[in-house]
């Protein structure tokens, strides 16, 4: 082991040395900065520790501590030691205590005996033990304290002087420091401690008698309370002024209890007389005494005052009955609760305001009174109401819970109004009661109902949404086997005016947005009918209390006066759930609200436009599918009925009912605040899933399957309108409108509660999922729709193209225009492409156009290869290709436009008469025609009527072949 070297600490880095003459100074400066700060030591302990110890030493023991050494004697005079004791007495912080000290000074002066001749104590000061080495002031006969000082530190130094060896000096008036101020107050309070050895009632009388020496009239209750509080601070573990402070402190507490009982009697007497000034003096004096003793539990005076309020005993007398809020048929009518809350608010305004004027702000008697009123009166009333509502139905319970909380919330404003009673006297309202604490009164009262309410709200929304979707699905099953003529749906498409869908959507969204912006309240009340009832909405002088989203009727956007059943059929049910707020309703005086009433004779101009649009669209569609109305296949072609704005609005209405109820509790703090926000998000997510997975996706999937079964050849009449595709485009417009409505609903109702930029938020993710599912469903449908459309186009071209369309007789006149088949095919394509505009995204539209163009190229190539084309017929081919190319160019899809330009070049091979020139053109087309190779062009020129004549010449020119010279037949 000896051969191993001893491990030594090593520096992990090389220190940086500065060069030049300042290198040494830099090193010293670094060493000083890195060196820890050392506290000066006194003996073996640091200075701060000595100061900490002596600050906890009782006052009588400080002389003994100081005599230990000169250094410790200096600590006894340190300001930090006496600052702690002086600050705890609180004289500098309370002006009223300063007045009490002044009274004590006057009383002490009046009682003081003639001044004694001060004794002189000679103390040598040149030894190492300081002022206490030569003479012991507590043992010297010349420095003995008075008998009444009980050997305490302060009194022992009151009547002697210190005499150094070379100089004698007398103790003069001390400077204004913490030590001198404490000594002065100590001498004033010390005589009062002798009085505490008597019984409590005697102590109170002696204190009053002592203070009366300084003034002609007896001291006020507040002065007595302040003196007792000052004595309680004086006889405390922090100060410890005398050795018997603990026993005297117990006696003082008994005296303070006795004094508090006397104040309670004085307060009740003043309350009986209605003397608020006397009540306030007694209350503030009692608070001084009770607060100093620790203030544990409830303050007796505030508690007794609140218990005597008559409002707490009126419920037992049967004055208020919670069950009066239910009508005979089990509906809610909160008129009785309005009367109940009026009494509660009146009690807060009367008794709460008096509590603010009488009791100290820090006692919070107003809040304590409001909490007791909320828990024992309002809470019991609401509990009885909700219990009965729960027995009736979940829907009634949910509405009653939100409405009850809304009614109870009125207490917050009443508490804040009562708190203002203290403001004229210079006490800010914020110091009397914070609004947050006033809100907590209602929040804490209602907490017992929150768990059940939030759980039931989510379950209720889930059941309501599922019921709506299942009802729609069952209705679809029934209409699949019956005539759908009784089903009404607004139509967006008008082929003659493609801008109509966008206009109708704007009308729909404008009406929907206006409905969402209507002020609402959830407290049900019975409203007197003025001016009549229109569709279940109560009209008042042209202004109505409408039922929110529920009053929206898609039929109104499509037609008027048809009397068909639609979304408005349930307007009369629960019409009071969302009412126009009274304040906001007054502000809307004179505004035209007819746009929100589905049954009014006159509607908005945009609605009339929408009606005419729908009428035209309906007639056009009826004409386009007239050929198939007598066919059973008609039932499978009603694709536009697979989605319904009725159902979308019903789902949103059910969701908005729950959302508005939950929003009532959105201000809840803490745990329930998080639960409320989670419930708001969950309710919206459930609506998105029901609307997306339960309705939109299912509708598009069914439409896609039905389109795949469409066979154009099975229809006798040739038409440019593909009925399933037109209906699918109508379906796309409906889906796009549903998505737009959902986006408006999200922006207006839910966005304020979430961060829309948080992509991890559950609502944002579900909304994106809904939009993606809709896009995927539209894309899948468009893929099938493209197949249907192009089958119809091919059917039109094959059917309407005459046998000798491109091989006319020699003497036939030459018409340089597209053929009928070409015109009808382009018309079919153009009509359906325009119908799709504005109903889906630009990206999906471009994909659809590109797919149409590519499939059209294939159809035309097959069509040309089936023909026999003469030279004159070649010009007809070019005319058709030019027409097709112009249509494709209007779609503005560069890739497809380029392909059609190549196809148009291919038409030139049919108008060249010379075979050698034709061979050269074939090479040029293959060279500049993009995807067309020479062998591909070769297939097309074979459809020339003169091909047998020019075949050898073309082959020889193209391939340099000569059958006589190059081919050997064996």
Give the confidence band of 674 by pLDDT, cuts at 50, 70, 90: very high
Share of the chain above pLDDT 90, in %: 19
Structure pTM? 0.69
Least confident of 29-43, 71-85, 918-932: 29-43
CA dihedral 149, 155, 159, 161 (to 10 degrees): 140
Alpha helix segments (H runs only) across 349-428: 353-358, 365-373, 379-392, 394-408, 410-419
Residue 864: count other Cβ atoms within 10 Å of its Cβ: 20
- Percentage of the chain modeled with pLDDT above 70: 70
Band of residue 464 on the pLDDT scale cut at 50, 70, 90: very high
Pairwise CA distance, residues 920 & 917, whole Å? 5
> In the structure encoding, which two tokens stand for residue 842, read together?
């630009």
Confidence at residue 883, expressed as pLDDT on a 0 to 100 scale = 93
Q: Is residue 680 pLDDT above 90, yes or no?
A: yes
Query: Does the pLDDT value for residue 211 go beyond 90?
Result: no
**Alpha-carbon span 800 to 902, nearest angstrom:** 25
Residue among 820, 587, 639, 812 at smallest CA distance from 720: 820
* pLDDT of 720 above 60: yes
Range in 613-622, 828-837, 846-855 with the lowest mean pLDDT:
613-622
Sequence-distant (6+) residues with CB within 8 A of 268 are 304
Rg (CA), the chain: 50
pLDDT mean across residues, the chain: 74
Q: How far apart are CA 817 and CA 823, in angstroms?
A: 9
Q: What's the whole-number mean pLDDT along residues 353-370?
A: 87
The contacts of residue 555 (CB under 8 Å, 6+ apart) are 488, 490, 562, 564, 566, 567, 568, 598
More confident residue, 478 or 125: 478
Tens-place pLDDT, residues 882-919: 999 999 999 988 888 988 888 888 888 888 888 888 87
**The pLDDT of residue 139:** 37
Q: What does DSSP say about strands 537-540 and 533-534: parallel, antiparallel, or unpaired?
A: antiparallel
Contact status, residue 40 vs residue 46, Cβ threshold 8 Å: yes
Say how many C-beta atoms besides its own lie within 10 A of residue 429's C-beta.
17
Report pLDDT for 889: 92
> Is it the case that residue 355 has pLDDT exceeding 60?
yes
Burial 572-581 (b: 16+ CB within 10 A, else e): eebbbbbbbe
Determine the angle formed by the axes of helices 894-906 and 915-928, rounding to 10 degrees. Answer: 170
Length of the chain: 970
pLDDT at 957 over 80: no
Is the separation of the CB atoms in 816 and 875 below 8 Å? yes
Sorting pLDDT into bands at 50, 70 and 90, what band is 445? very high
Q: Hunting for tokens 């529920």 — which residue is that?
A: 550
pLDDT tens across 508-533, in order?
788 888 877 777 667 887 644 333 33
Find tokens 């409405």 and name the residue: 403
pLDDT digits (tens, 9 = 90+) for 388-411: 999 999 999 999 999 999 999 999
**Which has more pLDDT, 923 or 484?**
923
Q: Which range (16-25, 311-320, 420-429) has the least confidence? A: 16-25
| Residue 157 or 55, more confident | 55
CA dihedral (763, 766, 767, 772) in degrees, to 10, reads 160
Backbone angles phi, psi at 538, to 5 degrees: -80, 125
Answer yes or no: is pLDDT of 619 > 70.
no
Give the pLDDT mean for 450-471: 93
Distance of CA 33 to the CA centre of its chain: 52
Q: Name the residue with higher pLDDT: 211 or 29.
A: 211
Condensed to tens digits (0 to 9), the pLDDT of residues 183-205 reads 888 988 888 888 888 888 888 88
For residue 796 the two structure tokens come to 């039109």
Mean pLDDT calculated for residue range 112-125: 44
Q: What is the DSSP string of 112-138?
A: PPPPPPPEEEE---SSTTGGGSS--TT
Q: Which residues contact 680 (CB under 8 A, 6 or more apart)?
A: 659, 662, 663, 666, 750, 753
Q: How confident is the model at residue 423 (pLDDT cuts 50, 70, 90)?
A: low
Q: Is the distance from CB of 112 to CB of 87 less than 8 angstroms?
A: no
Q: Quickly tell me which residue has 């599922």 as its tokens.
A: 466
CA atoms within a 13 Å half-sphere pointing along the CA-CB vector of 446: 29
Q: 105, 112 in Cβ contact below 8 A?
A: no
CA nearest to 411, candidates 518, 525, 310, 311: 311
Q: What is the C-alpha to C-alpha distance for residues 546 and 915, in angstroms, rounded to an integer?
A: 82
Is residue 169 predicted with pLDDT exceeding 50? no
Q: What is the pLDDT at residue 567?
A: 35
Is the per-residue pLDDT at 51 higher than 90?
no
pLDDT digits (tens, 9 = 90+) for 271-321: 888 888 888 888 888 888 876 555 456 788 888 888 888 888 877 666 788
pLDDT at 172: 38
Q: Which long-range contacts (CB under 8 A, 24 or more apart) does 666-670 make?
A: 666/753, 667/439, 668/443, 668/450, 669/440, 669/443
Segment among 23-27, 293-297, 408-412, 540-544 with least mean pLDDT = 540-544
Please, where are the H alpha helices in 711-761? 723-745
Q: Which residue has the higher pLDDT, 126 or 346?
A: 346
Question: What are the tokens at 421?
Answer: 């009673």
* Per-residue pLDDT, 41: 80
Task: Tell me which of 295 and 263 has the higher pLDDT.
Answer: 263
> For residues 480 and 224, which has the higher predicted lDDT (pLDDT)?
224
250 vs 235: CA distance, rounded Å: 9
For the cut 60, the answer to whether the pLDDT of residue 626 exceeds it is no
User: Which helix (DSSP H) or strand (DSSP E) does residue 540 occupy?
Assistant: strand 537-540
Output the pLDDT for position 623: 36
**Cα–Cα distance between 665 and 819 in angstroms, integer?**
70
Sign of CA dihedral 887, 891, 897, 899: negative
């Amino acid at each position: 082991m000896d051969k191993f070297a001893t491990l030594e600490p090593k520096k992990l880095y090389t220190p940086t040395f500065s060069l030049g003459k300042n290198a040494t100074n830099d090193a010293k400066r670094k060493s000083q900065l890195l060196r820890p700060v050392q506290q000066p030591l006194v003996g073996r302990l640091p200075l701060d520790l000595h100061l900490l110890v002596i600050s906890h030493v009782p006052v009588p023991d400080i002389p003994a501590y100081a005599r230990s050494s000169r250094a410790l004697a200096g600590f006894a005079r340190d300001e930090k030691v006496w600052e702690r004791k002086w600050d705890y007495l609180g004289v500098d912080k309370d002006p009223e205590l300063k007045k009490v000290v002044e009274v004590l000074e006057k009383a002490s002066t009046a009682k003081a005996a003639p001044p004694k001749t001060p004794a002189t104590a000679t103390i040598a000061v040149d030894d190492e033990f300081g002022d206490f080495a030569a003479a012991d002031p507590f043992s010297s006969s010349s420095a003995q304290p008075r008998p009444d000082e009980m050997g305490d530190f302060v009194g022992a130094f009151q009547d002697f002087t210190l005499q150094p060896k070379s100089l004698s000096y007398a103790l003069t008036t001390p400077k204004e420091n913490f030590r001198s101020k404490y000594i002065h107050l100590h001498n004033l309070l010390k005589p009062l401690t002798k009085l505490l050895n008597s019984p409590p009632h005697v102590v109170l009388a002696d204190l009053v008698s002592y203070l009366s020496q300084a003034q002609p009239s007896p001291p006020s209750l507040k002065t007595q309370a302040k003196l007792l509080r000052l004595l309680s601070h004086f006889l405390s573990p922090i100060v410890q002024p005398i050795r018997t402070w603990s026993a005297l402190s117990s006696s003082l507490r008994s005296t303070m209890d006795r004094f508090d009982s006397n104040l309670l009697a004085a307060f009740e007497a003043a309350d009986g007389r209605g003397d608020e000034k006397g009540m306030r003096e007694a209350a503030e004096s009692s608070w001084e005494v009770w607060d100093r003793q620790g203030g544990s539990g409830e303050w007796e005076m505030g508690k007794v005052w609140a218990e005597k309020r008559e409002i707490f005993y009126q419920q037992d007398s049967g004055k208020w009955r919670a069950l009066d809020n239910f009508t005979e048929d089990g509906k809610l009518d909160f008129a009785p609760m309005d009367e109940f809350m009026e009494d509660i608010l009146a009690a807060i305004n009367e008794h709460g305001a008096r509590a603010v004027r009488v009791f100290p702000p820090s006692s919070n008697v107003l809040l304590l009174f409001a909490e007791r009123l909320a828990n024992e009166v309002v809470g019991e009333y609401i509990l009885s109401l909700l219990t009965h509502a729960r027995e009736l139905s979940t829907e009634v319970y949910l509405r009653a819970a939100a409405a009850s909380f809304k009614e109870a919330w009125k207490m917050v404003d009443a508490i804040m109004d009562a708190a203002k009673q203290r403001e004229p006297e210079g006490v800010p309202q914020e110091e009397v009661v914070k609004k947050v604490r006033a809100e907590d009164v209602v929040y804490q009262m209602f907490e017992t109902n929150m768990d059940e309410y939030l759980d039931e709200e989510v379950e209720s929304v889930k059941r309501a949404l599922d019921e709506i979707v299942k009802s729609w699905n069952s209705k679809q099953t029934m209409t699949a086997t019956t005539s759908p003529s009784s089903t009404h749906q607004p139509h967006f498409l008008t082929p003659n005016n493609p801008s109509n869908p966008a206009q109708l959507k704007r009308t729909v969204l404008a009406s929907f947005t206006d409905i969402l912006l209507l002020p609402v309240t959830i407290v049900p009340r019975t409203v007197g009918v003025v001016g009549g009832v229109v569709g279940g909405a109560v009209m008042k002088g042209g202004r109505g209390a409408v039922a929110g989203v529920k009053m929206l009727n898609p039929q109104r956007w499509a037609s008027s006066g048809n009397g068909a059943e639609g979304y408005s059929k349930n307007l009369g049910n629960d019409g009071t759930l969302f009412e126009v707020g009274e304040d906001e309703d007054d502000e809307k005086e004179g505004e035209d609200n007819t746009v929100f009433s589905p049954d009014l004779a006159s509607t908005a101009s945009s609605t009339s436009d929408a009606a005419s649009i729908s009428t035209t669209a309906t007639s056009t569609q009826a004409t386009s599918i007239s050929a198939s109305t007598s066919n059973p296949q008609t039932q499978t072609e009603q694709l536009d009925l697979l989605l319904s704005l009725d159902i979308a609005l019903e789902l949103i209405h059910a969701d908005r009912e729950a959302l508005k109820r939950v929003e009532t509790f959105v201000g809840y703090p803490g745990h329930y605040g998080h639960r409320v926000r989670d419930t708001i998000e969950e309710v919206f997510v459930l609506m998105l899933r029901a609307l997306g997975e339960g309705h939109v996706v299912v509708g598009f999937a069914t439409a896609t399957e039905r389109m795949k079964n469409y066979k154009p050849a099975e229809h006798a009449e040739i038409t440019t309108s593909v009925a399933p595709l037109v209906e699918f485009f109508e379906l796309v417009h409906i889906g796009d409108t549903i998505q737009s409505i959902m986006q408006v609903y999200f922006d207006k109702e839910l966005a304020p509660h979430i961060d829309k930029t948080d992509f991890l938020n559950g609502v944002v993710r579900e909304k994106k999922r809904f939009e993606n599912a809709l896009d995927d469903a539209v894309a899948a449908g468009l893929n099938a729709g493209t197949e249907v459309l192009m089958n119809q186009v091919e059917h039109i071209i094959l059917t309407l193209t005459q046998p000798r369309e491109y091989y006319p007789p020699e003497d036939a006149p030459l018409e340089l225009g597209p053929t009928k088949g070409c015109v009808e095919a382009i018309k079919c394509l153009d009509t359906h492409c325009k119908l799709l505009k504005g109903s889906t995204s630009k990206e999906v539209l471009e994909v659809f156009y590109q797919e149409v163009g590519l499939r059209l190229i294939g159809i035309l190539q097959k069509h040309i290869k089936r023909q026999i084309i003469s030279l004159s017929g070649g010009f007809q081919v070019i005319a058709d290709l030019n027409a097709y190319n112009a249509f494709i160019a209007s779609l503005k899809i560069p890739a497809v436009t380029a392909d059609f330009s190549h196809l148009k070049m291919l038409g030139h091979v049919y108008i060249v008469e010379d075979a050698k020139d034709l061979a050269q053109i074939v090479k040029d087309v293959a060279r500049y025609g993009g995807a067309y190779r020479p062998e591909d062009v070769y297939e097309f020129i074979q459809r020339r009527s003169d091909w047998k004549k020019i075949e050898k010449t073309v082959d020889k020119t193209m391939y340099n072949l000569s059958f006589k010279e190059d081919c050997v037949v064996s």
